[in-house]
């Protein structure tokens, strides 16, 4: 479970652990201390393992995968992988440790590398759930700019990418296209792994608005919770329980290549079904990973953006 130290990820972990005493949850977090505090807050810390994972660093992703493989004899079989961590950057343009635009790097590329690296460690049957957002669909009126997908290479470059909120909605489109393309490559469930995308809805106070200005942060924390009477506004607990169900409930055992709004299967955006775009995203992502690994091998120093540190990835918040 990525992004498991707070918000949606933590609530999903709690729901999984309370639903079945057989579940053991690996909390993949940037900060080990926060991860251990989160594990204690689940009510079942003895069934949690905390591992450090920074999706803004492919070296960290690679190290996580290596350590996970080495733990094979001591950890329970892995039957679910939840790609939940998400970030929204609106205060300027920032990059990952490897020079990739931060929103695209964390929300898509880091998860892309993680899932591909962990596939061999999944015990069939297994499920992969990718947290997206209804903001990926321009037909949904959410007060967010429509995605502007041109190519993965363009999105990786901060100088040529769209403005912050548009980078976010575009990364959420990438999440859905990645889930569908992964499902096709895994034979639509015939290899024992299902892959689905999930929209948690708008979750006030989830932490995703931490890079917004003071007034917007205030509204997210104190005003938006009053809107939970609306159909697309949910608590993190409610959406966390829905996410846990997609990862574990027998009702969804054989469903794959789908997009869920909460627990309701619906159609995603028109662009998300564009196989040519999904193939380009996949192949370009592979090239980006290869180029970064080549730089690491040759000893090239990676660059970080100037300015304040990026907000920590949080459980995604839909709107």
Catalytic residue among 68, 121, 149, 168: 168
Active site residue 168: yes
What is the reported pTM?
0.87
| Mean pLDDT score of the chain | 88
Phi/psi of residue 146, nearest 5 degrees: -65, 150
What pLDDT score does 311 carry?
65
User: 282 to each of 174, 181, 234, 289, 307, how far by Cα in Å?
Assistant: 10, 8, 32, 11, 30
Judged by average pLDDT, the poorest of 172-176, 253-257, 300-304 is 300-304
**10 Å Cβ neighbour count for 150?**
13
Judged by average pLDDT, the poorest of 142-151, 152-161, 187-196, 263-272 is 152-161
Write out pLDDT tens, residues 180-213: 999 999 999 999 999 999 999 986 754 554 544 4
Strand pairing category for 264-266 and 259-261? antiparallel
What pLDDT score does 167 carry?
94
Q: Give the DSSP H or E segment for 22.
A: none
Looking at domain 7-315, its CATH superfamily turns out to be NAD(P)-binding Rossmann-like Domain (3.40.50.720)
Task: For the chain, give every domain's residue range.
Answer: 7-315
What pLDDT score does 287 carry?
98
What pLDDT score does 207 carry?
54
């Amino acid at each position: 479970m990525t992004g498991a130290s707070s918000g949606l990820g933590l609530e999903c972990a709690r729901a999984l652990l309370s639903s079945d005493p057989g579940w053991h949850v690996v909390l993949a977090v940037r900060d080990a201390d926060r991860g251990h505090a989160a594990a204690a807050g689940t009510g079942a810390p003895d069934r949690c393992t905390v591992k450090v994972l920074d999706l803004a660093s492919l070296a960290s992703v690679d190290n996580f995968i290596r350590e996970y493989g080495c733990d094979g004899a001591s950890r329970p079989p892995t039957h679910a992988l939840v790609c939940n961590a998400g970030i929204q950057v609106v205060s300027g343009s920032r990059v990952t440790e490897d020079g990739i635009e931060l929103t695209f790097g964390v929300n898509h590329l880091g998860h892309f590398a993680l899932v591909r690296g962990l596939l061999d460690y999944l015990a069939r049957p297994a499920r992969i759930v990718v947290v997206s957002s209804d903001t990926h669909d321009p037909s949904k009126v959410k007060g967010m700019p429509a995605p502007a997908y041109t190519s993965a290479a363009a999105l990786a470059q901060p100088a040529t990418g769209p403005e912050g909120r548009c980078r976010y909605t575009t990364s959420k489109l990438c999440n859905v296209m990645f889930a569908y393309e992964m499902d096709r490559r895994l034979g639509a469930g015939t290899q024992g792994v299902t892959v689905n995308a999930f929209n948690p809805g708008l979750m006030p106070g989830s932490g995703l608005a931490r890079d917004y200005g003071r007034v917007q942060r205030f509204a997210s924390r104190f005003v938006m919770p009053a809107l939970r009477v609306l159909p697309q506004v949910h608590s993190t607990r409610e959406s966390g329980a829905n996410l846990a169900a997609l990862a574990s409930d027998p009702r969804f055992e054989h469903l794959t290549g789908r997009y869920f709004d909460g627990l309701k299967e619906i159609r995603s955006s028109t662009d998300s079904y564009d196989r040519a775009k999904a193939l380009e995203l996949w192949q370009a992502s592979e090239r980006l990973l290869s180029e970064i690994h080549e730089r690491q091998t040759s000893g090239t120093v990676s660059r970080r953006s100037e300015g304040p540190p990026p907000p920590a990835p949080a459980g995604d918040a839909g709107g």
